[in-house]
């Protein structure tokens, strides 16, 4: 806990890290100085591996201000030097930073300005710490042609490694035909799209009350709905080379996947589209993060989807699991080759990170 407190303190003093171009060099030096000297590199079979966290949040306050939002200086989403210390403590070498979408209600011009600012700031941060950070582009998916252009610019001009999007856009499913220009661009660029749920606002009333069920149930439920539409509405058939990664182990879908294979045989009149594969087979082409908490849950995810489809996800700065690396290392069913793939190799390929 002391490290977390230290982080908040550092974050407050370093709030300008992604918000102030003129002091960027100073901030970068502060980052470097903050790196812990007690790093405990992960080795497997005597070989050092580069651990990559696919699921790491952050925020750019100046972009949020364009939407009338003002995070406090203590907001843990604002990166500060303590971030490197926490990465070191958690044995994470590289974090793939992303920003949860809050701009889906923005009209086109405003959305353009928010995204440009965010993508440029993240690119700047990554350039200052090329060995510790890569980043996903933000995209204004409510304007699909703009989102496609933002992704292309983010990847080709700014060196970003893919995009992060929500599990739906203002109540519209990601499989809606109007989003196809974005999927086509992501497929042609060959970059991953990280789907992070934003909950299911339609269920707000039923999920109210004790336990933050809007998040605990709502988030994995949204991911389950989003992936199921991409499968059942034929999006993955139309864009077979898409590299989609779903947060939180894909929500509930991999845990109860076989039901998806039995719906159409049981109720054929409810199925108007013919898919190219059985629904569960699409899970073997999707990617999932490892945030499923137990060794048994990770064993099942691997059995259902394949170790080649799983990447490390810490969900930083939310302390769901501060031992995400140890979780993978300690899962008894995994071979060292599978551990290496989950902690490093799969993400390295997806994000184009040198070994």
Question: Can you give the binding site for Zn ion, defined by CB under 5 A?
Answer: 315
Strands 172-173 and 168-169: antiparallel
Select 8 or 318, whichever has its Cβ closest to Zn ion. 318
Smallest separation (angstroms) from Zn ion to the CB of 315? 4
Smallest separation (angstroms) from Zn ion to the CB of 318? 6
End-to-end CA distance of the chain: 32
Q: For residue 165, what are the β-bridge partners?
A: 195
Select 218 or 279, whichever has its Cβ closest to Zn ion. 218
Select 289 or 338, whichever has its Cβ closest to Zn ion. 289
Smallest separation (angstroms) from Zn ion to the CB of 196? 5
Residue nearest Zn ion (C-beta atom): 315
Q: Which residue intervals of the chain are DSSP H helices?
A: 2-13, 24-34, 61-65, 82-89, 108-128, 144-156, 180-189, 213-216, 218-232, 235-238, 258-266, 295-305, 324-330, 336-340, 346-351
Buried b (16+ CB within 10 A) or exposed e, 215-232: eebbbbbbbbbbbbbbbb
Select 55 or 129, whichever has its Cβ closest to Zn ion. 55
Smallest separation (angstroms) from Zn ion to the CB of 336? 28
Q: How many Cβ atoms sit within 10 Å of the Cβ of residue 7?
A: 23
Smallest separation (angstroms) from Zn ion to the CB of 329? 21
Select 61 or 166, whichever has its Cβ closest to Zn ion. 166
Smallest separation (angstroms) from Zn ion to the CB of 234? 28
* Residues ≥6 apart with Cβ < 8 Å to 34: 10, 81, 82, 83, 84, 85
CA-to-CA separations, 96 to 21, 183, 198, 264, 334, in angstroms, rounded: 21, 21, 19, 38, 24
Residue 191 CA to residue 195 CA, distance in Å, equals 13
Select 86 or 315, whichever has its Cβ closest to Zn ion. 315
Q: Which helix (H) or strand (E) holds 137?
A: strand 137-138
* Residues ≥6 apart with Cβ < 8 Å to 32: none
Smallest separation (angstroms) from Zn ion to the CB of 227? 16
Select 222 or 315, whichever has its Cβ closest to Zn ion. 315
């Amino acid at each position: 806990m002391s490290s977390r407190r230290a982080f908040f303190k550092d974050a407050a003093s370093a709030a300008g890290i992604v918000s102030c171009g003129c002091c960027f060099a100073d901030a970068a030096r502060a980052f470097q100085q903050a790196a812990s000297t007690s790093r405990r590199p992960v080795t497997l079979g005597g070989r050092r591996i580069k651990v990559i966290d696919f699921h790491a949040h952050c925020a750019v306050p100046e972009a949020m201000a364009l939407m009338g939002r003002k995070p406090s200086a203590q907001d843990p989403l604002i990166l500060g030097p303590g971030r490197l210390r926490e990465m070191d403590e958690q044995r994470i070498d590289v974090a793939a930073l992303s920003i949860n979408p809050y701009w889906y209600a923005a009209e086109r011009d405003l959305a353009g300005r928010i995204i440009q600012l965010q993508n440029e700031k993240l690119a700047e941060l990554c350039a200052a710490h090329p060995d510790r950070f890569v980043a996903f582009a933000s995209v204004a998916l409510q304007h699909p042609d703009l989102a496609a252009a933002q992704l292309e610019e983010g990847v080709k001009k700014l060196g970003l490694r893919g995009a992060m999007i929500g599990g739906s856009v203002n109540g519209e499913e990601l499989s809606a035909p109007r989003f196809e220009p974005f999927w086509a661009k992501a497929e042609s660029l060959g970059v991953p799209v990280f789907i992070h749920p934003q909950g299911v606002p339609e269920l707000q009333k039923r999920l109210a009350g004790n336990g933050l069920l809007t998040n605990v149930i709502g988030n994995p439920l949204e991911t389950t709905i989003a992936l199921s539409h991409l499968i059942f509405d034929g999006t993955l058939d139309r864009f077979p080379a898409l590299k989609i990664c779903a947060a939180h182990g894909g929500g509930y879908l991999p845990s109860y996947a076989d039901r998806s294979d039995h719906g159409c045989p049981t109720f054929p009149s409810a199925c108007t589209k013919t898919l190219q594969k059985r629904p569960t087979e699409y899970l073997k082409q999707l990617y999932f993060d490892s945030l499923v908490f137990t060794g048994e849950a990770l064993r099942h995810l691997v059995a259902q989807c394949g170790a080649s489809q799983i990447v490390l996800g810490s969900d930083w700065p939310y302390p769901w699991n501060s031992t995400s690396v140890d979780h993978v290392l300690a899962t008894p069913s995994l071979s060292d080759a599978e551990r290496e793939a989950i902690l490093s190799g799969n993400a390295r390929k997806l994000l184009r990170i040198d070994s």
